[in-house]
Amino acid sequence: MRKTLFAALISLLPLAAFAGSYGLEPMPEGDAAPIAQAIASFDAHTDGRHKFSGRIVEICQNKGCWMVLEDSGISARVMMHDHKFDVPKDATGQAVVWGQLERKELSESHRQHLADESKGEVAEVEYRIDAFAVEIAN
């Protein structure tokens, strides 16, 4: 019985270690727009900060200073505001982000920098969220 309970608790540690809140500000109350919906109605989500949700599909493996959220095949890169906080590099699952959505044209050198930290190529233009708070669910 003890061995089974211990094994069960140990197996939950990786999930519990990544769930939680990260950032510079507390997450405000209210619903989050799925990132695909927010991008589809881009102009309605660029004025000020909003809450966005999606599935974590990639995280910077150098520091955890950015991650990519995906919903329904649409994605946005989440940049931790001014590199002032990080998220765990091995986090997975659903996340909610509080920040400002923007469309960003990337220089060749910035694209190369992100590609070096990424799983693949980086587009010339991408959607981004300048994040002030991140919540990662179990």
| Domains delineated in the chain | 2-136 (2.40.50)
Question: Mean pLDDT, to the nearest integer, of 48-61?
Answer: 95
Q: What is the pLDDT of residue 123?
A: 77
Q: Provide the pLDDT for residue 72.
A: 96
The answer on pLDDT for 5 being more than 80 is: no
Report the range out of 5-19, 58-72, 101-115 with the highest average pLDDT.
58-72
- pLDDT value, residue 113: 79
Instruction: Judge whether residue 12 has pLDDT over 50.
Output: no
Cα 19 from chain centre? 13
Q: Given this model, what pLDDT does residue 125 score?
A: 83
pLDDT cut 90: percent of the chain above it: 64
Residues of the chain with pLDDT > 70: what percent?
85
Interior CA angle at 120 toward 42 and 84, to 5°? 60
Q: Residues near 37 by Cβ (< 8 Å), separated by ≥ 6?
A: 71
What is the predicted pLDDT for the residue at 11?
45
Q: Are 79 and 129 in contact (CB under 8 A)?
A: yes
User: Which residue would you say has higher pLDDT here, 9 or 46?
Assistant: 46
Rounded to the nearest 10°, the torsion over CA 115, 67, 18, 70 is: -120
Looking at residues 56-63, what average pLDDT do you find? Answer: 92
For residue 74, pLDDT over 90 is answered with: yes
